[in-house]
Every structure is written in C-alpha cells, then in structure tokens.
Structure 1
Amino acid sequence: GTTKGGSPRARVAAYKVCWPPFHGAECFDADILAAFDMAIHDGVDALSLSLGGYATDYFNDGLAIGSFHAIQKGISVICSAGNSGPTPASVSNTAPWILTVGASTMDREFPAYVSFSDNQIKGQSLSSLGLTHEQYAMISSIEAKAANSSAHDAQLCYLNSLDPEKVKGKIVVCLRGINPRVEKGEAVHLAGGAGMVLANDKSAGDEIIADAHVLPATHISYSDGVYLFTYLNSTKSPLGYITLPKTKIDTSPAPVMAAFSSQGPNSVNPEILKPDITAPGVSILAAYSTASSPTGLSFDARRTPFNVESGTSMSCPHISGVVGLLTTLHPTWSPAMIKSAIMTTARIRDNKEKVIKNSSMYDATPFNYGAGHVMPNHAMDPGLVYDITPSDYLDFLCALGYNSTRMRAFSNESHSCPLKPMELENLNYPSISIPNLFGSKTVTRTVTNVGPPGKYIAFVYAPRGVSVTVKPAVLDFEKFGELKKFKVTMKVIQEEVQYDTYVFGRLIWSDDKHHVRSPLVVKAKY
C-alpha cells in the first residue's frame, strides 16, 4: 500500500548532532546548541528532537536552553519523553516550553502466534520466517544453559549462554530484559535453534513489540509467558510451532501506553505536568538508513530502506507532523497556542471507550499520557487555547531563583523579574499540577478564544478527596481573540483524601461543540 508522513508536504532540514560514542556519550550539548542556532538561522517552523537524557536543572540542560531560543523566535520544539519507563519520575525534557511526547500503541499489529498443545498465544514479530509445517520441540532457555554459563545469562539468552546440543532444532523460550531483544534470537540462532519465543518479564507487562528477528520468532506478554513456562515445566516433551507474521488492523484495545515510555511526575518542577501528550510510538513504519542494519546490531548484515521501530523517538515526530500541519493552518499561533491545541483536544479513552491502559492493563494516568493521546483533526479547531509568552517563561525562571547570569543563557535581552515572584502553578499551562496541596490553593488561568463567539461552561471531574471550584463557571466570548481569566480552587476533603498520594481529575470547558480538557494533578500534604 501507500504510506506518507504526518506532514507530507513539509520540507525537512536535518542537522546532525549525534556521533559514534566517545567516553560513553554520543550527543553533546555543543553540537545540539550549534544545530539550534543553525535551524533558527535557516527559519524552520518546528524542531523535532528525538533526544534526551536525565532530567536536570534547565541551566545545565542544553536542550532546554536551545529550545528556549527557538520558541523566542516562534519555533515549536517537540522532544521525546524518554524510554526509561515504567519507572516513576523518569520523564526527561521537562522544561515547560518544550512539547514532551510519550509513546503508545495504535490499532495495527503484526501478530505471530506460538501454538502448543491445544493453545495458541498471540505475539508480535517482523520475522520473515515462520515454523508452520511441523511440530518442534520446545525448551526453556534456562534449561538450555551452557555448562560455562550462569542461569541468569541463559534465562536472558545472552550470546554464547546456550548449549547447542540442548538447543539444536528446537524453539527456545527466552526472557525479556537487559540485552537487546533481537540479540536474544541471535543467541538461539548461533546455538542451532529453530525459533524463539520472547516472553516479557513482569515490568514489561503486556507490552509486546514487533522486531525484525533473525529467525522465526514471536514476542509475547508477561501473563502469556507465565502460562507458556508452566506448560514447558509440566510437560515431558513439549511441542509447538510459530506462525509467519501478518499485518492486522483495527485491533483493540488501542491505544495502550508503552511500558518503556518514561513517566511523570516531573522531577525538576512537579508543578508542570510531564509528559504533555502521547502519540504512536510502538512498531512504527518509517524510512531507514541503509548504512545500518534494521536492528542496529553488529552481527546483522541485512539492509532495508524502511523499518519498523519503537520508542518515544518514534512518537515525537508524530507530534512534530501535527505541529507542522497546525503551523500551516494557523501561521500566527505561538508555540504555546499550538501545544495547547494539541493537549486540550487529546483523548484519554481507547477504541473500546475505556480509559487508556498502561502496559500492565491497569488504567493509565496523566503521568503516563499527559493530556492524552493526540487527536490531530480535533486540534485544528480547539475553541480555546492557553497562551504563554517567552516573557512568561522568563518570569517562571525568576520564580525558580535564577540570577541575571543564568537568565542570560536563555535570553539575550534583559529581563526584569517581578517584585513579587509568580507562583509556579500559575504559569498559564494547559494542565494544572499542584504537588503540595496544604488545605486549599487557588490557581489562575487565562484562555484565548480562537473560535466563533460562544458560551463555555466549566465541567469538573474532581480528583478523589479534593473539591474543585471554578470561578467564573461560565465564560461568554463575544469575539475572536478575546481573553478570559478564571480561577480554580482546590481544597482537601479531610475525611476522604489520601495524603502524599497523587490523584487525578479533569477540567473541561465546553460550548457543546468544543471540549477544552485540562488534566488536574494533585498531591495533598499534611
């Protein structure tokens, strides 16, 4: 069939900032900042950066500094949230002027089944081979341990950890974790195995990924893996086979959050919810360099101009494509307005009309998906937007205690800090996060009408144990471009609240046609 990018008529300018590893690092701030300077000079409209590292103070973060210079010139900056999930507070690119993107699945899969006894388990694979013509002996990798290898290495199918005499001609079941997924298949292949089943460990849950395996293989969930290992351990001569992968569309539930997608809360400023949004980042078809193998592993001699990859590095350019379309449609909008349109029109329900799930199939939260899964067509016409100027961001830095020397890293222009520092929660962000709610707190927001005149009514889904009051509860806009201010007061309900635990809700402004949604994130303190 035919495929195209998210912003198909966009012109792409590419700036190389990453190089072969040097002392363990590949992408240096000096190169990143030089690329920002060149891109700003070249007049780009949006910058897509599938880059990141450990979250740190903005003054020590080249991405935060460079991206601020870009948004000062009206250039949107979109960055990956990181692939350190499901660890809490692992999200990177936490600066409020960056649009930070998590990764979720979509309703397309590449199923490859493992059949055994009277059972068939659905996995995912992009292997070009299957084992459908006969039954093959099956063995757990830990049972196939080489004499000079540890049980740990064999269980994870490290290279040279398997005994060829035990593995030859068999399907080996390996455990996910630590070493690359495709490398595990290479370990089975080198030992003479016929195929591999890759089972998730508990932390990966139900997240399964289609990889270009080097032998017939499929990747299955944690719960299915437990079932398969039980079969292997209870059967004298286990047999099975692996089917050839096929493409299947309209699958459900979708989207589901990827286990690898880095999570909130924001470890630098929990007053700013991160990630901001989630987008497709699992098994994404994209153009690929023929200078490298589809797995990026040294033993893989294959070359292909297209590949299927997973990571927040794949979800980030999805949002960049949407930003490109919105920039074309609304050329006068600021980066903050574009970000707001994307966030406030996002969806938190899947295609089964249930709350989006995490990889363990529990309800996900804004720490997983931010404002939700992107809905590009809705973002075209958001109704209301939350705008933020570069000066507002500088006031935010003032509130963090930045002195004049640090401020100059972000702005070449002098900026006078307000005599009374702003409260961090009052940055005009499209989400509201209060990490330290003592009794009650009021925050202020301002919305700009970017649609026709209309009356918007506030609907609140309050976080558990917290009462929420919005004043005024009705915003009546008489013209395009009109601004309206409102206040949101959150108050602890002492007999219901659970202290030191984040709870979540939503504020929705609606005129019946537009539904402007903002996540509410609160942690009550004694």
Structure 2
Amino acid sequence: MSRKFMKMKIQLVPLILFFLQMDNLLCSEERSTYIIHMDKSFMPMAFSSHHHWYSSMLQSVNSQTSPKLLYSYDNAFHGFSAVVSETDLETLKNSPGFLTAYADGPVFPDTTHSYKFLSLNTAAGLWPASQYGQDAIIGVVDSGILPESLSFRDDGMTNIPARWRGICQEGEQFNSSLCNKKLIGARYFNGGVKAANPGVTITMNSARDESGHGTHVAATAAGNYVAGVSYFGYASGTARGVAPRARLAMYKVLWNEGSYESDALAGIDQAIADGVDVLSISLSYRRRELHDNPLAIAAFGAREKGILVSISAGNRGPGFATLLEGIPWAVVVAAGTIDRWLAGTVSLGNGRIITGWTLFPGRAIVRNIRLVYNESFSSCSTQGSQINQSSRILVCTLSDIEFDSVKTVTMDPSVPYVDARIVITQDVTELRSFTYQRPGVIITPSEGREVIEYIKSSDNPTASIDFQQTVIGAEPRAAPAVADFSSRGPARSYPGVLKPDIMAPGVLILAADNPDSLRAQIGVTYLGSDFTLRSGTSMSCPHISGIAALLKTAHPNWSPAAIQSAMMTTASVLDNTDEPIKDSGLDYRVANALDMGSGQVDPNRALDPGLVYDASIQDYVNLICSMDLTSEQRRTIIRSSYNCSNASSDINYPSFIALYDSQENGTKLTKEFRRTVTNVGNGPTTYLVEVETPRESTIEISPMTLTFAKKYEKRSYTMTIRYRSYSPSETNSGAITWIDGSGKHRVRSPIVVTTTVSIYE
C-alpha cells in the first residue's frame, strides 16, 4: 500500500467518524407525540388564530426532524399536540406562553364518541359548570324504553327533584319498581292506535321498548356511564349520554301496530304537565301546515311553559326544501358525521396496508389468502361458481346503481368458494349501515387501483384482513360533514324562519338498544347487541336535547329562546381540518345554512355566548298572527288568550332568511330585519359587527357598534339586505358576526338568500 494512500486513509478516518457520530445523533433524535399547554394571552396580535400561532412556533424550530402539528385545542384547554424530538421540545419550552408538556399516552376510544368530538370534558366548560346536567329533566317522546339497560342505572344520582309530577306507569312487563333516580317516569299512549284499529291486540302494552329506537335516543341524551361496551368489537369504550346526570322520562307513542298523531300529542301534553325541562322529539309527520302539525301545536304549548323542544329535521335529504317541520318555536336539528372510522385493515402481500371500512361483526381469520380479480367477473354480483378454487378474496367494483343490491349480494352466504371480499366503491359513506354476512372491506377507487395493479403484477397476490378496528381523526374524510340523509331547508311548513337551526352528530352513534332486535348477521345466524350503532336525525336530536339540559342547569334563568340562541350563535362552520364544513350528500361541496343551520353545535362556547337573541311567547304569537291563517287556525296553536294587535313576521331570531319568488328572475328586492340582543357576559362591553355579504347582495347594519354598560342590558340594530331573485333553488349565503373588544365572544348569525317554497309542491 503506497504512503500517499495511507495518508489519505488516515485523513478520512476523522471525517467518517464525524458522519457516523452525526448519523447516530440524528438516529437518537427519535420523535414522539407531546401535548403542549400554552397561555393564549401571549399570542401576538399578528396571528389571526391560535392555530396559526402554534403552526408558526413549530415552523420556527430549526430542526432536521420536521416537527408536525397534529391538533390545536381551544376548548378543553389552550395548546396543541405535535410530533417533535426532545431537542425540539427543549426549544419550544423557551417560546413565550409555554406552560408545560407531557408525552401523549394511550387512550381507548369512548363509544358514542360524539361527546368527545363535541369537546365536552371533565376539566372545564359546560360539563363541570352544569354538574353534568344534574337535576335537569329530559322528556323523550318515542317508542318506549328498555329500563334494564345499564345506561339507565341510577348510580351517582341524587334524589328526584321535588318539582317532578310524573309517574312510572305500570303495564305489560313493566312495573313501577323499574323506574329509579335516573329513569324517573314512564308512560304510554296508544288510544289513537286502538281507535284506528278496533280490536287490535297491542303486543307490548306498556312503556317497554320493542324496536330499540326510544332506548337509543334516551341513552344518547342522558344515559349513565357504562364501561366496556362496543358494537361487536367496534368503537369500544365507556358509553355515556350528553347529559349523564340529567333525569329521563319516557313517553311511548310509537307502536308496532301503528303510530298516530293523537298519541304523540297526548304524550307531549303529559310531559309538559309532568314538569320536564327539555322535550326530545325524534319524530316526523307528513303534515306540513303548522296549524295541523301535532308537533308544532304541542311544541308551542311547551315553549309557553318554558320548555325547550328539540325536534329532528327528518331523513329526506339531500334535496332542496326536503324539511317539512320548520317550527319557529322549536330547535330543528340536522345530522352530521363524526371523526370515527370503523375499519378493516387490508395487508397486501407486497407490504402495502390499506385501511378500509367494515362492520363485519367478528374477528374473522383471513390470513395470506389469494386475491382474485378479473374484469369479466369483477362485479360484486358475480356468483362464486365462476371461481373454480376455494380460499379466495374476491376484489369487485360496486357502482352506484348496484348499491341497492349489495346488501344481499356482496356477502351472500350462499355464494361458495369466497372467503372474503374487497369492495371498491366511490362513496364509502353510503355503506355505513351495511350488513356484512361474510367478511368484507370497503375501499376507495384509488386504493382499488393499487390492489388491482398488485394482483396483475404478482404471480401469487395475497392479502390478510384484520377486523374490529376503530380509527379516530380527520382521515379519510374531514368531520363533521352534513349527512346525506339529513333534510334540507327551506322549511315547507313555514319558510320565513331559517331551518334547520343547528347540526349535531347523527351518523353511527353508539348507544343502548334492544338486544333482542336484529343488529347483525353472519351466514344464517342473527346477532343482537346491548349497544347499537344508529344513524339519522333521530340521533342528532337528542344531542341537542342533552346540551340544552346542560345549559338549563348552568343558566337556570335563561329562557328556551336564550338557550337556543346560545347554541346557534356559537356553532362552528369549520371541520376538524379548519376548512368549511362540507355536504356529503352533494359531492362534498361547501355546506350552507339550509343544510346545517348555524353550524355544528359547540357546547362549551354556548356556555358563554356573550349575547343572546331572546324572544317571549308573545313574540311567537305576533309571528303566528302574521301568517296567512284563519282565526280558527291561529287558535289551534295559540288559543284565544292572546290577541293579534302586533302581528309581525320579523321575530327576534338568531338567523336571517331573505326569500324571493323563483319565477321573478332578476327582480331587485329589499328586506329589513330588526333584532335585539341581550348582554349575558359579565360587565360592560362593546361589540363591532363583521359582515359576510351573500353574492350579488348588499347589507347595511345600523348601528355598527353596540355598547353595553352592564349585564342583561339590551341593544337593538337593523339589518337591511338588498338582493335580487335567482333561478329556482339557488342559494346564496353570508353572515353577520358581533365581536367584542377582546375577541372572546363571536356572535354569528347566518344569512340565506333563497327561493320561496310552496307547501303544496
């Protein structure tokens, strides 16, 4: 070896050692997830939001490990979670406003999960402020209740409030001892059923629930804590209602033998007499006219007694004006998705892992099985006889047209020689209520292309599938999104008030149910479950009922209108990626107020809304008097004790709707609204208005500043909108937001410009 080469080798040794040391240093800088608490008062004025502030902090960390922001928090606490190295964390500790940090630990998903998605927590906000709804009474008008469910135990409940006037009505398989400090009342009403069907035999002549619907609704609103529940291994955790310490009273009005308006009216009427604080009504009737609608009539009586009424918007979406019951004196609730993905993990033989959708109710063993795909029999309706070998995973494509038949075909137990299926479809959200009789997973078209390419390029393509997976987060879809089935406004019964009012979780909500009802099937075996996933505005409605009960407990002097206003003006219009909420029923375009009302309810912000739009019962009377009704029709709603000397269609509502006749395209129109807001914040304050103007409209606000000297003081303003009519069913949206000097309170009211809807269409 030459001397020159030896010298070069000696010189390279320190350099190699340096790079090895650097490599070891970088390798030792493993990243972990940390939760970092911040003092938000340190946020510089240059940042428009705390999210941007946290992002900037991480970007300023000059690190080769690329810190990653996961979530920013502004409800349970102020701070964020991020994937950082220990060196990065030490740098962040020197940032202004840093309080503390700790490593993220493992958690188990809670069932319903919706309470967590709504940021309800034990540390701060509406739950502790209301003592979890203690002593609020929620009346549920539905199909009855299963009193033995663990969700209705009275562990931790105090004595029943002395103001309660209800009873536990005995009946078939239901005696008075089944009520307790949680389920404080139960009644049933079937006179209408019997009158319509003389001689009919009621199969369960009591408040006992056969279908499970009422049990699920009641448990969602105010179920007690139940640990270790799941839906066949999915969404496992601890179940609880939105107001877990509130009381429940069930009024059974839905029957297997039929459901009638008279029974519903009787149930609501009795609930009012018994002394409930909130009425949760996940029912819908075809009657559109307010003076004929039992829900509208009964809801007015309830509001007159100071009871907030929460009603489901209906499941007729996603079409324009599919909402029938636009009751101005009730909270009409739309349904949205949550950030929980019930999954099956597909592991391909080439190492690629795909998270798909499944609700197969078992831990099937699908390991290293050959994948089969051929365009000549790629349809999900292909019979297994075309596959000449056993132990196969069939990859098939499902079109929108085929969707209706997939339930009976995709997992048909009569199909031989197929161990499992991987179904490729464009919109996985449509399959959330899918019944899996055989193991199967749903994946997207882009993922499907990967699977097919792998099959074509491999001599022995195989895959394994793991079931009973639960994933929380923004992937594969941001949440919330408006559920496709949720009915859209404007309301056909009365389009003059913007409906729906608000959106709450209503897709795949896990709560107590009747275990004897069919919930799943494997082959020819039918399965039941004590806790079941259900979807519908029937599920979103009790979320609002529970939140209303919490607010009623925290603010016992607030009227139902004030509670409704607090929920509406603090609702969020952003999803968990800080983007505008989308509409899953219309190709995920940006949703508007006809889809979701004021937005997704935010319980903790509703606790301290700053301002509320209050309304007395006389205000609702004035609204009814302004409607095109006869004297008799008016009296069916408001009775004869009120007069119509001050008829006005401009009620003090937390939202605005400007209507036009779709046949007068291009007509220029003007509408003026007058509103009065009440300061429910502490002490003097000043609010400035921020305006989002609908397309091709102008808005004037007078005055543009509202100054309050003390709490409970009122101030009024007018909003004048100049707009023009458009083509049929076109909608243009905007909003006005009153913002206080500190920026803490943002009181937002949506504005919609849209066409009138005839109730006879």
TM-score normalised to structure 1 length: 0.84
Partner of 1:250: 473
Distance in 1 (alpha carbons) for counterparts of 2:613 and 2:719: 15
Aligned residue type for 1:362? R
1:75 matched to 2:75? The reply is: no
Distance in 2 (alpha carbons) for counterparts of 1:300 and 1:183: 16
Aligned residue type for 2:436? H
1:165 matched to 2:385? The reply is: yes
Q: Is the 8 A contact 2:345 2:469 kept in 1?
A: no
Distance in 1 (alpha carbons) for counterparts of 2:505 and 2:376: 34
Aligned residue type for 2:694? P
| Residue among 602, 605, 629 paired with 1:375 | 602
Partner of 2:438: 215
Deviation readout 1:197-221 (Å, 9 max, x if unpaired): 45556xx575552656333223445
Question: 1:164-203 to 2 correspondence within 5 Å?
Answer: 164-166=384-386, 170-171=393-394, 173=396, 174-175=398-399, 183-184=407-408, 188-192=412-416, 193-197=418-422
Alpha-carbon spacing, 1:490–1:292, altered in 2? closer, same or farther (3 Å): same
Distance in 2 (alpha carbons) for counterparts of 1:209 and 1:412: 45
1:332 matched to 2:557? The reply is: yes
Question: 1:22-171 to 2 correspondence within 5 Å?
Answer: 26-54=258-286, 56-114=288-346, 121-127=354-360, 128-130=362-364, 132-138=366-372, 143=377, 163-166=383-386, 170-171=393-394
Alpha-carbon spacing, 1:473–1:231, altered in 2? closer, same or farther (3 Å): same
Alpha-carbon spacing, 1:216–1:190, altered in 2? closer, same or farther (3 Å): same
Moved more, 98-107 or 52-61: 52-61
Deviation readout 1:207-264 (Å, 9 max, x if unpaired): 552656333223445x559858987999999875543131122334221222222222
Aligned residue type for 2:673? V
Partner of 2:653: 429
Partner of 1:519: 750
Partner of 2:669: 439
1:388 matched to 2:622? The reply is: no
Distance in 2 (alpha carbons) for counterparts of 1:307 and 1:53: 25
Q: Is the 8 A contact 1:115 1:240 kept in 2?
A: yes
Alpha-carbon spacing, 1:191–1:59, altered in 2? closer, same or farther (3 Å): farther
Partner of 1:17: 253
How far is 1:183 from its partner? 3.8
How far is 1:78 from its partner? 0.8
How far is 1:81 from its partner? 1.4
Q: Is the 8 A contact 1:261 1:312 kept in 2?
A: yes
| Residue among 490, 498, 502 paired with 2:731 | 502
For structure 2, the residue ranges without an aligned partner over 5 or more in a row are 1-236, 661-666, 757-761
Q: Is the 8 A contact 2:673 2:718 kept in 1?
A: yes
Partner of 2:92: none
Alpha-carbon spacing, 1:208–1:228, altered in 2? closer, same or farther (3 Å): farther
TM-score normalised to structure 2 length: 0.60
Deviation readout 1:236-293 (Å, 9 max, x if unpaired): 9987554313112233422122222222222333322221111111221211111312
Distance in 2 (alpha carbons) for counterparts of 1:296 and 1:414: 57
Distance in 1 (alpha carbons) for counterparts of 2:421 and 2:254: 33
Partner of 1:462: 693
Paired residue total: 498
Distance in 1 (alpha carbons) for counterparts of 2:292 and 2:402: 29
Moved more, 463-472 or 89-98: 89-98
Q: Is the 8 A contact 2:410 2:421 kept in 1?
A: no
How far is 1:383 from its partner? 0.9
Alpha-carbon spacing, 1:187–1:476, altered in 2? closer, same or farther (3 Å): same
How far is 1:446 from its partner? 1.3
1:314 matched to 2:539? The reply is: yes
Q: Is the 8 A contact 1:265 1:274 kept in 2?
A: yes
Partner of 1:150: none
Distance in 1 (alpha carbons) for counterparts of 2:428 and 2:489: 19
Question: 1:285-304 to 2 correspondence within 5 Å?
Answer: 285-295=510-520, 301-304=526-529
1:351 matched to 2:564? The reply is: no
Alpha-carbon spacing, 1:131–1:82, altered in 2? closer, same or farther (3 Å): farther
Alpha-carbon spacing, 1:206–1:69, altered in 2? closer, same or farther (3 Å): same
> Equivalent residue of 1:245, what SS?
strand
> Equivalent residue of 1:243, what SS?
strand
How far is 1:120 from its partner? 5.4
Distance in 2 (alpha carbons) for counterparts of 1:134 and 1:217: 15
Distance in 2 (alpha carbons) for counterparts of 1:53 and 1:136: 51
How far is 1:137 from its partner? 4.3
Partner of 1:475: 706
1:404 matched to 2:631? The reply is: yes
Partner of 2:64: none
Q: Is the 8 A contact 2:673 2:720 kept in 1?
A: yes
> Equivalent residue of 1:30, what SS?
helix
Aligned residue type for 1:456? Y
Distance in 2 (alpha carbons) for counterparts of 1:215 and 1:263: 36
Bigger radius of gyration = 2
Distance in 2 (alpha carbons) for counterparts of 1:198 and 1:399: 55
Distance in 1 (alpha carbons) for counterparts of 2:719 and 2:532: 47
Higher RCO (CA < 8 A, seq sep 6+): 1
Moved more, 7-16 or 92-101: 92-101
Partner of 1:487: 718
> Equivalent residue of 1:316, what SS?
helix
> Equivalent residue of 2:467, what SS?
coil
> Equivalent residue of 1:322, what SS?
helix
Deviation readout 1:71-106 (Å, 9 max, x if unpaired): 111111111112222222112431111211111122
Q: Is the 8 A contact 2:368 2:462 kept in 1?
A: no
Distance in 1 (alpha carbons) for counterparts of 2:454 and 2:265: 54
> Equivalent residue of 2:590, what SS?
coil
Alpha-carbon spacing, 1:176–1:245, altered in 2? closer, same or farther (3 Å): farther
Distance in 2 (alpha carbons) for counterparts of 1:243 and 1:263: 38
Distance in 1 (alpha carbons) for counterparts of 2:259 and 2:375: 36
Partner of 1:361: 588
How far is 1:6 from its partner? 0.4
Q: Is the 8 A contact 1:208 1:220 kept in 2?
A: no
Distance in 2 (alpha carbons) for counterparts of 1:257 and 1:475: 34
Distance in 2 (alpha carbons) for counterparts of 1:317 and 1:103: 11
> Equivalent residue of 1:12, what SS?
strand
Partner of 1:262: 487
Deviation readout 1:417-448 (Å, 9 max, x if unpaired): 236x42x3x12111101012833221111111
The share of aligned pairs that are identical, in percent, is 35
